[in-house]
Amino acid sequence: MFFADQLINGLSLGALYALIAVGYTVVYGIVQLINFAHGEIFMIGGFASVGTWFILGKSANVLAWWMLPIMLLGGVIVAVATAVVMERVAYRPLRGAPRLAPLITAIGISIFLQELVRLFYDAIPGFPTAKSAVTLPEIQFFTGPAIVIREGLSVQRSAIFTLVALSICWVFLWYFINRTKIGRGMLATSQDQDTARLMGIDVDRIIVVAFAVGAALAAVAGLAHGLRYGNVDFRMGFIAGLKAFTAAVLGGIGNINGAVVGGLVLGVIEAMAGAYIPGQFGGSAWKDVWAFVILILVLVFRPQGLLGARVVDRA
């Protein structure tokens, strides 16, 4: 039963990484950009979800379950708006520049958004901050004691939300990319921007949509993180973003299915390493170490990832 507990915990953690990793993959597949500020979009989605509760339901000690989709909608709106502005102001002017320029810009935006959120929320009167962390309210069903399936086997309520959210987002994204006009435009743009433009596709619009889709998924992950840990923190996007990037590389950067598989595998590896590696190299304190050891091993022995990449590396 202990193994099953750790497996469920690892899958829920992996689902969280997968939601963020898919955002990395969607953007990379279109513009070949590793957007290191994506972790901060995830963080902003979490804070905006809590901000929605603060505006609409802060007087309640325990929120009704139907407040969860409203909080999620608020987080998605703010995260998408931030990502669209970021693309228009910071990335679009550098689209023809050497790849190092947008990469450095992404790191600068990441630090800028961290400090902006920290200063902004600390300045709101009555907002429930504790220096760096904001505590989420209790939500019916989704927070509280774990659900006991049988003796020795339980499921955290937040894990149900995370796994269901990943499943829904995965199906939606598959349908959106493969069955809609905009999605097919994204596929064409990912293969060759110049040819796609000649065929009448608005490439700028497609790139904005890619950033918006990735931001929406990151916002879902931000709320899932809050439910899992009980709070959101302005620094939470950094490590989570790096692990999501690790998941994307593990699955095959540029491959959406690979990002999902890579996230789930990474989550399970973290959970199992923390539970089963004995001695001073085991335990939860070492879970970040093992996550990045996996990244190094993948880059050395299988740089294309578990499922490879669908996109063509453009010079």
Tell me which of 84 and 309 has the higher pLDDT. 84
Residues 83 and 44: their CA atoms lie apart, in Å, by 10
Which 8-state DSSP code applies to residue 35?
-
Q: What is the pLDDT of residues 88-97, one digit of tens each?
A: 999 999 988 8
The domain spans of the chain are 16-235
Q: What is the pLDDT of residues 232-282, one digit of tens each?
A: 998 899 989 999 998 998 988 888 999 999 999 999 988 888 777 766 766
Residues 74 and 196: their CA atoms lie apart, in Å, by 34
Q: What is the pLDDT of residues 190-208, one digit of tens each?
A: 989 999 999 999 999 999 9
Q: What is the pLDDT of residues 125-160, one digit of tens each?
A: 666 665 668 888 888 888 878 887 777 677 888 999
Strand boundaries in the chain, DSSP class E: 62-63, 129-130, 133-135, 138-139, 147-150, 153-155, 231-233
pLDDT at 141: 86
User: What pTM was estimated for this model as a whole?
Assistant: 0.91
Q: What is the pLDDT of residues 285-311, one digit of tens each?
A: 787 888 888 888 888 888 888 886 444
pLDDT at residue 209 is higher than 50: yes
pLDDT at 79: 97
